[in-house]
Structure 1
Amino acid sequence: MTAPLVQVNDLAKTFDVSAPWLNRVVERKPRQFVHAVDGVSFSIERGKTLALVGESGCGKSTVARLLVGLYTPSRGDVVFEGRPTAAVLASREGRGLRRRMQMIFQDPYASLNPRWKVLDIVGEPLREHGLLNDTAALRQRVGELLQSVGLSAADVEKFPHQFSGGQRQRISIARALATQPEFLVCDEPTSALDVSVQAQVLNIMKDLQRERGLTYLFISHNLAVVHHVADDVGVMYLGRLVEVAPKRELFDRPQHPYTRMLLDAIPDIHMTGRARTPVQGEVPNPLNPPSGCAFHPRCPYANERCSRERPVLLELRGVKVACHAVEEGRI
């Protein structure tokens, strides 16, 4: 077994969301903290795709930003090719690591500078990392990158407002590929796009992965998209991983009640008649999460232990799952 390209160990991020000091004194309120990510661990093999799924607010995008160094972890570490990224980013080698790890953001309307031409947008990483400084060579390279994502080399002179949403996201992908990275963090790259355009962008990403041997962390709340692109799937709930499994195993035999609930929410177009568990309740307030297992107020299998003791992610039935009911054989 080769070592994974990316290894995440007990990663956590806490945000201070307290009111200003004077308000707290006058209203006699304590400081408040949100545990956006709380002890997440996973690994991604070279050339593979791990998808993180879960409802809005479960911490997926925070994990993405922690991996590429946009946030500093409160606890734990990210290891890239056997080396902790925090130490590397703080050293002279940080620029080289940033070149090897890039991110595709969620909103193609907000992540591109409207005042810049495509030549400047896609060419910025090349200039920033000192890969190309000659104007003619830069223009040629940007044109090649645009063609690799299905756009025309002549588009270098256009502005973002002259493109559709799907085309803008292709520009974002071209920008991320400019430094020839090995690892791409994709934060819901198709959620702002129409379904037909989603398929085009996803196919481009799969083709690029096949051609260049790219490794992806793919974040999404759309299980149909995840089924199309992922090799392995991690399910997050309120900042923690509750299940990690190979894609086929997770879709065919989901273990955790929350994973089952997510899959039951997908319309049954084949009319299989399979029994479904109705969705119960809502996501709890992250400022005041439930004790024990965070999912227990919504879980049909919860008992007294679930409300008291937080489950640990264990290897059960060939997958990793954090659930007392699965561990005890109650499901």
Structure 2
Amino acid sequence: MSLVSNPALVQASDLAKTFDVSPPWLNRVIERQPRTLLHAVDGVSFEIERGKTLALVGESGCGKSTVARLLVGLYHPTRGDFRFDGQDAHAGFAGAQSQALRRRIQMIFQDPYASLNPRWQVEDIVGEPLREHGMASGKPELRERVGALLESVGLSPLDMAKFPHQFSGGQRQRVSIARALATEPEFLVCDEPTSALDVSVQAQVLNIMKDLQQRRGLTYLFISHNLAVVRHVSDEVGVMYLGRLVELADKRSLFATPRHPYTRMLLDAIPKMHDTGSARTPVQGEVPNPLAPPPGCAFNPRCPHANDRCRTERPALLSIGGIRIACHAVEEGRI
């Protein structure tokens, strides 16, 4: 009897999101301008196994946060499919199962100063999901569960009576994590959850998140532009450029032998602890205007290996040597 492997908990297929950023209709008519479309995410596909972490990295504006919002139902995709535990998640978000699905998928936002209501006490902030989903039958049970959630992220039940302004940035982000854990989710979308924090505090928050993952079997999509953080938390890494995935590999392979020229460029820019005598390689060039991306491979204006094919034909994400990569130069064996 053959064993059938369980499908991944999270399956994104050809996800795309286009925003209409056109000027007002009358301006376009007077100036005879067509509509302006921004392809923020353009055909992204990946899977995340239960209990694992996929990290998405890339420069600002590459579409990472848009992917996050697509996965929690804040945006509806222009194209593509997102399946969660085998079911069509976007149909679920819009249907009768919306509340049950949102209970299983939660998000930790980037800025702990903006994502917490400054007029609410922590008891209300963390307790709100419990009330909304009917997970606490009365005030005593609610307080007990909020206290346990605060303890699980390294805070005290006595902090329930405090307001957000009475906490440091790292403590606020712990409150955000406690709120996200309130509904006992299986999948957490983490949109740069430590980027607003000091380095020493980042490490504390990341260790809490890793510990919670091990204890609760959580699945993470972790979005960051900090490759040191990604190396610490991820199992797989996807590198995004101008709305598309250009490389998707397990963490060890990606950091040891990056294949795509853009991935190499990002890794070369990291200061090395032991190579103090060598010059740090800056990331070359500028990200093209996303409203008018270059034809062919979007990275070709910055790529030292670009040829005529790269300038005219957009590469597909192919499986080459156990990794998925969108690069004509790698496909042709030129690098």
TM class, shorter-length? over 0.9
Residues in 1 aligned to 2:172 and 2:283: alpha-carbon distance in whole angstroms: 36
Give the one of 176, 193, 197 matched to 2:180: 176
Structure 2, unmatched stretches of 5+, are none
The answer to whether the aligner puts 1:45 opposite 2:49 as a matched pair is yes
SS at match of 2:245: strand
2:60 aligned with 1:56, yes or no?
yes
Q: Distance in 1 between matches of 2:223 and 2:229?
A: 10
Q: Name the counterpart of 2:35.
A: 31
The secondary structure found in structure 2 opposite 1:11 is strand
Normalised TM-score (structure 2): 0.97
Compute the displacement of 1:277 (Å): 6.2
Q: Which residue of 1 aligns with 2:142?
A: 138
- 2:8 paired residue among 4, 11, 16: 4
Q: State which drifts further: 165-174 or 128-137.
A: 128-137
Hey, what does 1:77 align to over in structure 2? 81
Which letter does structure 1 place at the counterpart of 2:209? Answer: M
Q: Are 1:162 and 2:171 matched, yes or no? A: no
Distance 1:276 1:162, change over 3 A: closer
How far apart are the structure 1 equivalents of 2:70 and 2:234?
A: 21
Q: 1:138 Cα deviation (Å)?
A: 0.3
The aligned counterpart of 2:106 is: 102
Deviation at 1:279, TM superposition (A): 3.0
1:122 equivalent to 2:126? Answer: yes
List, as ranges, runs of 4+ consecutive aligned residues in structure 1 with deviation greater than 6 Å.
272-277
- What secondary structure sits across from 1:297 in the alignment? helix
Q: Which whole-Å CA distance do the structure 2 matches of 1:201 and 1:131 have between them?
A: 26
Q: 1 CA distance for matches of 2:169 and 2:277?
A: 38
Give distance in 2, aligned partners of 1:91 and 1:193.
Answer: 37
Give the letter aligned to residue 287 of structure 1: L
Q: CA deviation at 1:317?
A: 1.6
Check conservation: 2:238, 2:248, Cα contact below 8 A: yes
In the alignment, the residues of structure 1 paired with residue 277 and residue 248 of structure 2 have an alpha-carbon distance, to the nearest angstrom, of 27
How far does residue 275 in structure 1 lie from its aligned partner after superposition?
9.3
- Pair 1:216 & 2:220 matched: yes
The residue number in structure 1 matching 2:231 is: 227
Asked if structure 1 preserves the Cα contact closer than 8 Å seen for 2:270 and 2:280, the reply is: no
Aligned partners of 1:187 and 1:126: how far apart in 2?
A: 22
1:275-290 matches, within 5 Å, as 279-290=283-294
Counterpart secondary structure, 1:136: helix
Among 145, 152, 170, which residue is 1:148 paired with? Answer: 152
Task: Write out aligned runs for 1:294-313 (5 A).
Answer: 294-313=298-317
The SS at the match of 1:241 is strand
Cα distance, 1:278 vs. partner?
5.4
Give the stretch that moved more between structures: 36-45 or 21-30: 21-30
Whole-Å separation in 2 of the counterparts to 1:234 and 1:119 = 37
Equivalent in the alignment of 1:259? 263
Distance 1:278 1:176, change over 3 A: closer
Quote the Cα distance in structure 1 between the aligned partners of 2:162 and 2:40.
39
| Structure 1 position 274, deviation (Å) | 7.8
Residue aligning to 1:201: 205
**One-letter amino acid of the structure 2 residue matched with residue 146 of structure 1:** L
Alpha-carbon distance between aligned partners in 2 of 1:194 and 1:273, rounded to the nearest angstrom: 27
SS at match of 2:61: coil
CA shift at 1:294, angstroms? Answer: 0.1
1:89-112 Cα distance to aligned partner (Å, 9 max, x none) = 222111101000000000000000
Q: What corresponds to 1:328 in structure 2?
A: 332
> Quick one: distance in 2 between partners of 1:275 and 1:192?
28
| Residue of structure 2 in register with 1:241 after alignment | 245
Deviations along 1:13-45, one digit per CA (max 9) or x if unpaired, are 000001111221222222101000000000000
Report deviation, 1:310.
0.3
The alpha carbon displacement at 1:276 in A equals 7.7
Mapped partners of 1:102, 1:317: distance in 2: 34
Deviations 1:121-179 (A, max 9, x none): 00000001111140111011001000000000000010000000000000000000000
Question: 2-side partners of 1:283 and 1:242: how far apart?
Answer: 14
**Residue 111 of structure 1: aligned partner:** 115
- Indicate the residue corresponding to 2:192 in structure 1: 188
- C-alpha separation in 1, matches of 2:283 and 2:189: 30
Aligned mates of 1:31, 1:315 — CA distance in 2: 36
Offset, 1:280: 2.2
Distance 2:314 2:277 in 1: 34
| Distance of 2:79 and 2:301 partners within structure 1 | 27
Percent identical: 76
Counting matched residue pairs gives 331
